[in-house]
Amino acid sequence: MPNDKILARSLGVLFGLGLAGIFILRRNLFRLTGRKDNGAFIEYFELLPPPPPPPPSAPHPLSGLTFAIKDIFDIEGFVTGFGNPDWASTHEPATRTAAAVKVLVEAGATCIGKLIMDELAYSIIGDNKHYGTPVNPAAPNRIPGGSSSGSGVAVAADLVDFSLGTDTAGSVRVPAAFCGILGFRPSHGAVSTVGVTPMAQSLDTVGCFARDPAILRQVGHILLQLPYMDVRQPRRFFIADDCFKISLIPTELSLGTVVKSIQKLLGRQVLQHINLGDYVARTVPSLKELQKEISDSNLGSLALLRTAMQILQRWEFKLNHEEWLTTVKPDLAPALAARTKLALETSSNLVPLLQKIKDETRYAISELLKNDSLLVMPTVPDIPPKLNTKAEALEVFRNKTLDLICVAGMSSCCQVTMPAGNHDGVPMAVSLLARQGSDRFLLDTVLAIYSTVQEEDKVAADQPSIVSDGNSAAAELAKEKGNAAFKEKDYKKAVGFYTDAIRLNGNNATYYNNRAMAYLQLCSFSEAESDCTKALNLDKRVSVFILFEVGLEEQMQFDGSRMVAPIYVFIVDLNVPAVVQVTLLMMK
């Protein structure tokens, strides 16, 4: 909550919200002079629960808990901002409170405000050009993830016990993963979206965030409004091997603790490995028809599934918001403006095929996960990108992420992402997925295994890092892709591939050496110097190869503790047009 430096004007209002009791809504309009709330809140108020029942009745199940909501949920008397000031200025205050908010307050929780979100809920990055980017408490120099950015940050910063967000294409799962907390995307249609500004109805869900799995389960059960059922033990866990292979996080780090925890609690017999992409290709035949329609033979099955989700999302977004976009012509961030332009240009031609793909995917995943089975896969393909990462790199990251996110979106199944340790000091996450309608079973399972996963994480953190053969091979593959990009003179892409190789195996001097060459072509001299130093620290016997353009006469100066001047330069032919190779040798 804000401190005494915050200027506030409070107005107390007493009215009914159509629930069991009468609530007090105290609205506070704050002008923040600092970011004591990590920039997560856009508006503070209090929505109080009804009085507790007299003894011997049990207290309300969420009594004493606080929460906040994404600025996509209606609160009676408040304007729902949808992450954009032009939207807020062209819409009237809500005449009702969102059903999901009502049921939580009725259960005893106190809502304390609204949270920043990405504009129009059409991003998974977590930034907002109008209201700022909430600060990720787990990695302040990296993006928080979106579009429920404030919802993830508020929970991770311990500002509330839990929060509400929406998840159409990852908007709960991604920020939860990036902020190192739990995030629950329910089965499509399992939680009411009444009073929630729509994004794409075929994919929209109301989800929640928490640090504590017991609170996540409790809140999830109340949102689901399902009758009590006995806790069931999972019979099988499918490990999506191909999904972990495309992840840039070493598999033994992200998956190892989860697998060890499952083995410890349930035994090895419940584990089974699967190539999810191959399974989807076999069981969702309409993807081949989509491939013909879009004339792209290079996309794998998960990338095709992601493409189907994106086109469906664009079409439904257009149906919902075309009139407002074309009439108001709102001020949008460049990436969002490009995305909305694509949406407005989308036709309905492929919609029947897309719905068919969605139906086939739902049936396929339901068949796979029948009989109390769960799917284990990475939530995101990498740790969160750094702040101010270039738009082109973010778009590549976004598509890689959606290749994973689309599985739950297109199958309508439920998913929980949970923290699974750290990599380079940044949170990692692993997800469990259950078939549509198995939400309570999924939440119960997460609660049952979570403490063991965290214990295994601590054990792993105390052990030295070991690069597996699989990750070593993946690192070499990334290096070769970098070499190919370098020869094509796509130096930015080469840097990206070499960075992937380093992330997979940070003890290989050649990877730093090669990245230094690419950095020099981009005139990023300080980065090149840093990589040369790292390469020499790793292996004093190697020569550090640097590429200069022909005719460049400037010499680089290195830290004297690392290299001793003078530096002798030997030019050799690389058979690469317009470049020559020079070898920097240390004087003995």
Q: Residue 320: CA atoms inside 13 Å, Cβ hemisphere, count?
A: 19
CATH of the domain at 539: 1.25.40.10
Note whether 256 and 316 are same-domain residues.
Answer: yes
Pairing of strands 271-274, 236-240: parallel
Please indicate whether residue 356 is annotated as part of the active site. Answer: no
Of the three residues 462, 483, 510, the one that is the final residue of a domain is 462
Secondary structure element (H or E) that encloses residue 452, with its range: helix 439-461
Token pair, residue 386, equals 């750094």
Q: Residue 464: what pLDDT?
A: 59
Same domain, 214 and 141: yes
pTM: 0.78
Which structural domain range is residue 497 located in?
469-546
Tokens representing residue 473 in the block: 């091979």
Q: Which helix (H) or strand (E) holds 219?
A: helix 213-224
* Residue 470: predicted pLDDT: 53
Does the annotation count 458 as an active-site position?
no
Is residue 411 flagged as an active site residue? no
Which amino acid belongs to residue 109? A
Q: Are residues 324 and 386 in the same domain?
A: yes
- For residue 566, say if its preceding peptide bond is cis, omega within 30 degrees of 0: yes
Tell me the average confidence (pLDDT) per consecutive run of 10 residues in the chain, 588 residues long: 32 36 42 67 96 88 97 98 98 98 98 98 97 97 98 98 98 98 98 98 98 98 88 96 87 86 95 97 97 90 97 98 98 96 97 98 98 97 94 92 98 97 91 97 97 89 59 75 85 85 82 87 79 73 41 36 34 33 32
Q: At which of 430, 462, 494 does a domain end?
A: 462
Whether 381 is covered by a domain: the verdict is: yes
Q: What is the pLDDT of residue 14?
A: 31
The stretches of 225-300 forming alpha helices (DSSP H) are 241-246, 251-254, 256-266, 276-283, 286-294
Q: What is the DSSP letter of 120?
A: G
**436 and 475 housed in the same domain:** no
Specify the pLDDT at position 562: 36
- Among residues 70, 318, 400, 493, the one annotated as catalytic is 70
> Is 196 within 8 Å of 206 (Cβ atoms)?
yes
How far is residue 262's CA from residue 256's CA, in Å, rounded to a whole number?
10
Q: What is the pLDDT of residue 473?
A: 66
Q: Evaluate whether 99 touches 224 at the Cβ level (below 8 Å).
A: no
Backbone torsions φ then ψ of 25, nearest 5 degrees: -110, 115
> Are residues 422 and 296 located together in one domain of the fold?
yes
Residues 455 and 508 in one domain: no
- On whether both 455 and 476 belong to a single domain, the answer is no
What per-residue confidence (pLDDT) applies to 1? Answer: 37
Same domain flag for 442 and 539: no
Cβ neighbors of 279 (< 8 A, separation 6 or more) are: 364, 368
Closest alpha carbon to 494 in 505, 504, 509, 484: 484
* Residue 233 forms part of a structural domain: yes
Distance CA 256, CA 248 (A): 15
48 lies in the same domain as 77: yes
DSSP string computed for 291-314: HHHHT-TT--HHHHHHHHHHHHHH
Task: Identify the three-state secondary structure at position 240.
Answer: strand
| Same domain, yes or no: 451 and 490 | no
Catalytic choice (123, 147, 254, 301):
147
Tell me if residue 349 falls in helix, strand or coil.
Answer: coil
Same domain? 163 vs 290:
yes
Catalytic residue among 123, 148, 149, 171, which?
171
